[in-house]
Amino acid sequence: MTMTKMLVGKITDIDPKGSRTFRVNETEIALFRLSGGEVLAVENKCPHKGGTLSDGMVCGSKVHCPLHDWKIDLHSGAVQEPDTGCVTTFEVEIDENSGSIYVTV
């Protein structure tokens, strides 16, 4: 599978502690901007019941699934115990000069 670096927006498009989504083929990806300014990308689907993670609350570097409050680490994609599972994460780069966000998919 070929990896592609895509321009998906600007840092100013996402509020701190907010999210936005984009689609690549059949996969919806959620971008999250943490309170410290870091931007992380994960597949926008909880491994439990498919909840839309971009609708969840961000707390630190975790997002809480809006359906059943599963906590997912946005760095690793790992679900916090006692629940189990993982979501796909994507590499994010931000151009410091332009504020452009690039995601490798």
Q: Look at the pTM and tell me if it is higher than 0.75.
A: yes
Is the model's pLDDT at 8 over the cut of 70?
yes
Q: Give all strands of the β-sheet with 100-104 in edge-to-edge order.
A: 5-10, 100-104, 89-94, 39-43, 27-33, 19-24
| CATH at residue 81 | 2.102.10.10
Average of per-residue pLDDT across 17-25? 93
CA dist 13 and 21 (Å) reads 11
Average of per-residue pLDDT across 21-30? 94
Q: How many domains does the chain have?
A: 1
List the domain range (segments joined by +) for residue 29: 5-104
**pLDDT, position 2:** 76
3-state secondary structure of 77: coil
For 38-87, what is each residue's pLDDT tens digit? 999 999 999 999 999 999 999 999 999 999 999 999 999 999 999 999 99
**pLDDT, position 1:** 62
